[in-house]
Amino acid sequence: MRELTDRALNLAQVQGATYGDMRIVRRETQSISVRNGVVQQLSLDGTQGFGVRVIVDGAWGFASSHLLTPAEVDRVMALAVTIAKASALAKTEDVDLGPPEVHVDVYRTPVELDPFTVPLNDKVSLLLEADEEARSVKGVAVARSGLTFIRENQTFASTEGSYIEQEIVESGLGLVAVAVSEGEVQQRSYPNSFGRHQGTAGYEFIQRWDLPGNARRMGEEAVALLSAPQCPGGVTTIILNGPQLALQVHESCGHPIELDRVFGTEAAFAGTSFLTPEKYGTFRYGSDLVNITADAVTPTGLGTYGYDDEGVPAQRTDIVKNGIFVGYLTSRETASQLRRIHPEAPARSNGSMRADGWSRIPIIRMTNVSLQSGEWTLDDLIADTDDGIYMITNKSWSIDDKRLNFQFGVELAYEIKNGKLGRMFKNATYTDITPRFWGNCDAICNADHWHVWGTPNCGKGQPGQTAHTGHGAAPARFRNVQVGVMK
């Protein structure tokens, strides 16, 4: 790899680049899925290539190719330089990357059991067993389950002198049971919805979650939901379980703290942010109980790595401290921009730039953006709630383009009356405005309930990029929330 990176970076400098970096990426993905007793997918996918990023005349250029040959490196680097010169035609100021980042290092995801060495038969058998359990419940129309394993090897080199090799390993699993009756479809997912729960870990991650042992319960709950009453509407107290709260954090905190969004670079696609720079350090985002951090170092977190795709070391940053908004997710360029507005802001990036493979340019993505745990047990929290709804696992999500008005639907909900769980409700939804919602958070469960959930499907950017992010959360309670919008 050294030969190719040296060649590319030398060429960048010869052609006038004041900065250049190159990422060479190889990604292997193994996907297995079972649907109603049939192995529907067993695929082994590989992709490799490189991307080069340069600053010429104060502007960015990026080009990429799947061909790892010296001649192609020359062509693609020349193209990147040409593109940068074109970018300079419509620039208003030169790119400022701030202080240099020089690191020579190797990082590998700690793995107990390499998932690529586990026999395919074992994986298929696990899914078939879980599938059978789910479909053993009368009324389950469809059971789908899947395993995903990813190994990504990346070499990063820059004209500043960095040379970083990383190997990130991910393991993911999921099952959904779908029950159908006339005019009604209900589903229950485990451990999380929308395909899978995933972490940076080996096969031990799969073993921990015991898919077969939870599949029957998913089937039973899906069938029970068919005849459950519709969640009533009104303003009430809600308790969100961990997976639902993880997505709540993702949508209403994780995205609005992306500093590229704040500065408008996602305005035409994903949107901007209500957390504008003048709010930095002073805005009350939530109640005193709300503490949110962003880190790329939590073990098994799906947003965990050694270095971001600009070669900045993984780190932990306070985002919301005792309810006050205190930090963004930054890149080298946006950290410099923020510092011009807020001289007290950190001079260096907090290492949140990531690219979806070799063909995409790094953009600011969530790491593990997590709500820190509180002091309650879940039993005590429910016992302390006179009237409310306990909402479990996401089914639908939507939020406006500044991340203020959101509406979520959940798979399963229970009435809470006089401190006890009561009737099951179907089609429960809740909606609110982000700071008001977090301002009404009055209890968070303790570290025993806290888990970092993986979101392997976060979309952003043009061309589209899918990021893998993590979100630590324990169940929490929110007062005065509008529920039951759907009739």
Partner 1 sequence: MLGKEKLKEIAEQVLALSSADQTEVLIFGTDERLTRFAVNTIHQNVSETDVAVRVRSVFGKKTGVASGNDLSKDALRKVVESAETAAGFQQDNPDFHSLPGPQSVRGVDAYVEATAACTPEERARGVADICAMARENGLEAAGAFSTAVDEIMVANSLGVSAYHRGSVAHVVTVIMGDTGSGYASATAMDVSELDAEAVGRVAVDKALRSRNPTDIEPGAYTVILEEEAVADMLSSLGYMGFGALAVQEGRSFMNGRFGERITGDDITIWDDGHDLRGLALPFDFEGVPKQRVTLIEKGVAKAVVYDSFTAGREEGQVSTGHSLPAPNTSGPFTVNLFMGPGHATKEEMLASTERGIWVTRFHYTNTLHPVKTVLTGMTRDGTFLIENGEIARPLKNLRFTQSILDAFSGAEMLGAELKRVKAGWGGFATCAPAVKIREFQFTGTTEF
The residues in 268-327 that bind partner 1, with binding defined as CB under 8 A, are 268-269, 271-272, 274
Binding-site member from 1, 113, 142, 226 for partner 1 (CB under 8 A):
142
Tell me how far, at minimum, the Cβ of 16 lies from partner 1, in Å: 16
CB 146 within 8 A of CB 130: no
405 binds partner 1 (CB under 8 A): yes
141 binds partner 1 (CB under 8 A): yes
Going by DSSP bridges, is the β-strand pair 104-108/163-181 parallel, antiparallel, or unpaired? parallel
Binding-site member from 5, 8, 22, 60 for partner 1 (CB under 8 A):
60
Q: Which stretch binds partner 1 (CB under 8 A): 28-36, 203-211, 299-307, 310-318?
A: 28-36
Residue by residue, what is the 3-state secondary structure of the chain? Answer: CHHHHHHHHHHHHHCCCCEEEEEEEEEEEEEEEEECCEEEEEEEEEEEEEEEEEEECCEEEEEEECCCCHHHHHHHHHHHHHHHHHHHHHCCCCCCCCCCCCCEEEEECCCCCCHHHCCHHHHHHHHHHHHHHHHCCCCEEEEEEEEEEEEEEEEEEECCCCEEEEEEEEEEEEEEEEEEECCEEEEEEECCCCCCEEECCCCHHHHHHCHHHHHHHHHHHHHHHHCCCECCCEEEEEEECHHHHHHHHHHHHHCCCEHHHHCCCCCCCCCCCCCCHHHCCCCECCCCCCCEEEECCCCCCCCCCCECCCCCECCEEEEEECCEECCCECCHHHHHHHHHHCCCCCCCCCCCEECCCCCCCCEECCCEEEECCCCECHHHHHHCCCEEEEEEEEEEEEECCCCCEEEEEEEEEEEEECCEEEEEEECCEEEEEHHHHHHCEEEEECHHHCEEEEEEEEEECCCCEEEEEEEEECCEEEEEEEECCCC
Binding-site member from 4, 80, 222, 253 for partner 1 (CB under 8 A):
80
59 binds partner 1 (CB under 8 A): yes
Q: Which stretch binds partner 1 (CB under 8 A): 204-212, 237-245, 373-381, 427-435?
A: 427-435
83 binds partner 1 (CB under 8 A): yes
Could you tell me the two tokens for 203?
């096969």
78 binds partner 1 (CB under 8 A): no
Instruction: Pick between residue 136 and residue 396 the one whose CB is nearest to partner 1.
Output: 396
Instruction: Pick between residue 283 and residue 397 the one whose CB is nearest to partner 1.
Output: 397
Q: Which stretch binds partner 1 (CB under 8 A): 158-166, 168-176, 296-304, 428-436?
A: 428-436
Q: Which stretch binds partner 1 (CB under 8 A): 140-148, 281-289, 308-316, 450-458?
A: 140-148
91 binds partner 1 (CB under 8 A): yes
Binding-site member from 121, 282, 343, 344 for partner 1 (CB under 8 A):
121
Instruction: Pick between residue 114 and residue 269 the one whose CB is nearest to partner 1.
Output: 269
Instruction: Pick between residue 180 and residue 297 the one whose CB is nearest to partner 1.
Output: 180
Tell me how far, at minimum, the Cβ of 429 lies from partner 1, in Å: 7
Task: Identify residues 37-56 at the interface with partner 1 (CB under 8 A).
Answer: 38-49
1 binds partner 1 (CB under 8 A): no
Q: Which stretch binds partner 1 (CB under 8 A): 161-169, 206-214, 365-373, 398-406?
A: 398-406
Tell me how far, at minimum, the Cβ of 440 lies from partner 1, in Å: 16
Could you tell me the two tokens for 1?
């790899």
Nearest to 338 by CA among 294, 251, 404, 279: 279
Instruction: Pick between residue 52 and residue 381 the one whose CB is nearest to partner 1.
Output: 52
214 binds partner 1 (CB under 8 A): no
Going by DSSP bridges, is the β-strand pair 234-240/387-399 parallel, antiparallel, or unpaired? parallel
74 binds partner 1 (CB under 8 A): no
Give the count of residues interacting with partner 1 (CB under 8 A): 89
66 binds partner 1 (CB under 8 A): yes
Neighbours of 117 (CB within 10 A): 9
453 binds partner 1 (CB under 8 A): no
Residue 85: C-alpha distances to residues 62, 68, 82, 136 (Å): 11, 24, 5, 63
Q: Which stretch binds partner 1 (CB under 8 A): 121-129, 131-139, 208-216, 439-447?
A: 121-129
378 binds partner 1 (CB under 8 A): no
Polymer length in residues for the chain:
487
Instruction: Pick between residue 268 and residue 447 the one whose CB is nearest to partner 1.
Output: 268
Instruction: Pick between residue 69 and residue 322 the one whose CB is nearest to partner 1.
Output: 69
464 binds partner 1 (CB under 8 A): yes
Tell me how far, at minimum, the Cβ of 364 lies from partner 1, in Å: 12
352 binds partner 1 (CB under 8 A): no
Could you tell me the two tokens for 306?
């050694």
**Contact code string over 178-197 relative to partner 1, x by CB under 8 A:** x-x-xxxx------------
65 binds partner 1 (CB under 8 A): yes
